[in-house]
Amino acid sequence: MRALIQRVTEASVTVEGEKIGEIGPGLLILVCAMQGDTEAQADKLAAKIAKLRIFKDEADKMNRSLLDAGGAALVVSQFTLAADTARGNRPGFSTAAAPEEGKRLYDYFADRMAVQGVAVATGQFAADMKVALVNDGPVTIWMEV
């Protein structure tokens, strides 16, 4: 699985003019299931993200996790993280999981974040979403398991 995480002061996702998910301080997690990904990979990614020490401590150093900081996660499906740009000018997405499997693993990942003890809001799989965020730092990290 692939994820792009952004530390945010706030983030929201809107579908057809309706805000369906929003958080205050925490992480916006754009996530993509790749062909062959498993629940074990989703488990590993969720645990890693929940414990990743990228929030500031009292000494202003990135030393606290999402769990330590009490932040929330906005989990948004993002199949374009599978983009292959090696040839030509039009990216290919053939390495992304099939839609049914992608949705299953996306839902599973969001659930695993909640199991870690994180408050979770979500986007809508395969929808045309408008994502708004205020990146804190900015801190943006690419992850793949």
Is 41 among the catalytic positions?
Answer: no
Domain of residue 64, residue span: 2-144
> How do residues 78-94 score in pLDDT, each as one tens digit?
999 999 999 999 999 99
The CATH number linked to 68 is: 3.50.80.10
Q: Which of 41, 78, 116, 122 is catalytic?
A: 78
Annotation says 55 is catalytic: no
Distance of alpha carbon 111 from alpha carbon 127, whole angstroms: 19
Structurally, the chain folds into a number of domains equal to 1
Instruction: Output the pLDDT for position 4.
Output: 98
Bridge partners, 122 (sequence order): 75
Burial of 16 (0-12, 13-18, 19+ CB in 10 A): exposed
Active site residue 80: yes
Q: From the candidates 14, 41, 55, 79, give the one annotated as an active-site residue.
A: 79
pTM for the full predicted model: 0.97
Q: Which of 85, 55, 92, 48 is closest to 70 using CA atoms? A: 55
